[in-house]
Homo-oligomer: A and B are copies of this chain.
Amino acid sequence: MAQDAQSPAEKSGVVAGRVGVVGLGLIGGSIARALSRAGREVYALDLDEDIERFAAIETTAGTLTDELVGTCELVVLACYPEGCVDWLHAHADLVSAHAIVIDTGGVKRSVCEPCFEIARAAGITFLGCHPMAGTQFSGYAHSRADMFEGAPLVVCPPPEVRGVTCLALVDRLEGLLAPCGFGRLTVTTPERHDEVIAYTSQLAHVVSSAYVKSPTLARHEGFSAGSYKDLTRVARLNPQMWCELFLDDADNLASEIGTLVGALNRYKEALEARDAERLTELLAEGDRLKRSDEREDEV
């Protein structure tokens, strides 16, 4: 009976609850903290050895060596998109067939397509993930165990995994990530993810970044109410990271910018024509859309 308590995963060398984290930035650091706090054994890797050492003192159990990769039940790739693909390419053969590998990036097509392929060839499981949290700050120093409390998590399983198998897999992932406290979990395709994320996240960052380019910025002291602060909050960002995300979703993002520019020009035309009726209608339409959007959020 004692031997039977060992699961097939454990027989294969996987240690239950052991996690590998690749990349100790804001997201990887926060996942490492949340899982460690819950008693999971977390091993981590970072390009910056000082951060890796520092994390090993306060958060992780140590460095994720090649020898340890095969013992992890969950591997979290939390580096830049290209870095995730490169790591998986180099380490896929070391990962246990009983493990789940996820990434945490803000675009999914560019990571999921190659990673699904690598995982298929190696007979391992990869799920694209996008934890929708973060701050305008980046790096391990800003990571927090409670970063994901109530945050949405978007999951993209490989297309060949469907129905009950898919549900079971997502369920297992939810269990492994439970200490993070994610709110709503949405399962979708990489294509749909990238289409929607271009609108809800990337466009917001472009608009904030463009908003602060007005010459009036230098003269607004004493005039900034809440709306200005909200509109410009995410102008503060990591340019390299966002550039990579944007380029991996350039088609969708360029199209959303075009749609927004078109909408803005309609307000501008109504203003220039001093057309009160048209302008009120444009504003009323926005008000209606926002109200129905909020109602859906409440469901």
> Which A positions have Cβ atoms within 8 angstroms of B?
132-134, 151-152, 154, 184, 186, 188, 192-193, 195-201, 203-217, 219-228, 230-240, 242-244, 246-247, 250, 253-254, 256-261, 263-268, 271-272, 274, 276, 279-287, 289-291, 293-294, 296-297
- Residues of B near A265 (CB, < 8 A) are 257, 261
Complex partner residue of A264 from B261, B279, B293, CB under 8 angstroms: B261
B261, A261: Cβ atoms under 8 Å?
yes
A262 to chain B, nearest CB (A): 8
Cα–Cα, bound, A254→B112 (Å): 43
Cα–Cα, bound, A188→B198 (Å): 40
B279, A246: Cβ atoms under 8 Å?
yes
Tell me what chain A mostly uses at the interface: helix, strand, loop, or mixed: helix
- Residues of B near A193 (CB, < 8 A) are 223
- Residues of B near A154 (CB, < 8 A) are 222-223
A272, B289: Cβ atoms under 8 Å?
no
Kindly report which residue of chain B lies nearest to residue A232, judged by CB atoms.
B290
- Residues of B near A220 (CB, < 8 A) are 196, 199-200
- Residues of B near A203 (CB, < 8 A) are 211, 214, 231
B283, A225: Cβ atoms under 8 Å?
no
B213, A200: Cβ atoms under 8 Å?
no
B235, A290: Cβ atoms under 8 Å?
yes
In addition to A192-B219, A235-B287, 6 A-B residue pairs with Cβ atoms within 8 Å of each other are A154-B222, A201-B227, A204-B228, A243-B280, A243-B283, A260-B264
A58 to chain B, nearest CB (A): 27
Tell whether A216 pairs with B236 under 8 Å between CB atoms, given A133-B225, A230-B204, A231-B231: no
Kindly report which residue of chain B lies nearest to residue A282, judged by CB atoms.
B209
Cα–Cα, bound, A134→B201 (Å): 26
Kindly report which residue of chain B lies nearest to residue A291, judged by CB atoms.
B236
Complex partner residue of A239 from B134, B225, B226, B283, CB under 8 angstroms: B283
B152, A222: Cβ atoms under 8 Å?
yes
B272, A250: Cβ atoms under 8 Å?
yes
A186, B222: Cβ atoms under 8 Å?
yes
A225, B200: Cβ atoms under 8 Å?
yes
Cα–Cα, bound, A222→B247 (Å): 23
8 residue pairs, one from A and one from B, having the closest CB atoms: A209-B286, A186-B222, A210-B263, A204-B227, A235-B290, A239-B283, A199-B216, A239-B284
